[in-house]
Structure 1
Amino acid sequence: MCLSIPMQVVSWEGEGDFAWVERGERRERINMMLLGAQPVGTWVLTSLGLAREVVEPEQLALIEEALSALAASLEGDYAAEAYFQDLPAR
């Protein structure tokens, strides 16, 4: 199973299908062939060196919350009431 991670487009490599993306201190060169050119600053879901979809701000917030919950769980510091505040409203 692969987990797609949101990363932000920071620059383009020449005229091709490759862009540089960042998340925190992590920087990667990814293939943007499925999405085409996206403006610098756009957040995309990446997996295995490929951008899969553009992430809207609302989606990004939910993904970041889920990743924070996963990190807390792995550290043994997970409190269910601190995460996924939107679920009771659904």
Structure 2
Amino acid sequence: MCLSVPMQVVENLADGDLAIVERAGRRQQVNMLLVGPQGLGTWVLVALGFAKEVVEPGELALIEDALAALAASLDGDYDPATHFRDLA
């Protein structure tokens, strides 16, 4: 199983076929052929060096909450009242 992580497009390369994306100060080059060229500031889900999907703002908030819940769980600090409030 592969976890896709949201990253923001900060630079386009090779006529939009490649892009530099960033998350929390970490940058990487990704292949954009599955989603096509995207504007700067666009959020995409990235896995294994490929942008797999464009992420809308509402979707991004839910993904960030899930990732924060996962991190809290791994740290032993998970509080169900803090995460996944949209499911209550």
**TM-score interval, smaller chain:** over 0.9
- C-alpha separation in 1, matches of 2:25 and 2:61: 19
Consecutive aligned runs of 4 or more in structure 1 exceeding 3 Å deviation = none
Structure 1 equivalent of residue 9 of structure 2: 9
Structure 2 equivalent of residue 78 of structure 1: 78
Is 1:33 aligned to residue 30 of structure 2? no
1:85 CA drift (Å): 0.5
Aligned residues: 88
TM score, norm. by length of structure 2: 0.96
SS at structure 1 position matched to 2:15 = coil
SS at structure 1 position matched to 2:10 = strand
1:16 CA drift (Å): 5.0
TM score, norm. by length of structure 1: 0.94
AA of the residue aligned to 1:44: V
Unaligned runs of 5+ in 2: none
- C-alpha separation in 2, matches of 1:15 and 1:7: 19
Q: Which moved more, 1:6-15 or 1:63-72?
A: 6-15
Is 1:66 aligned to residue 66 of structure 2? yes
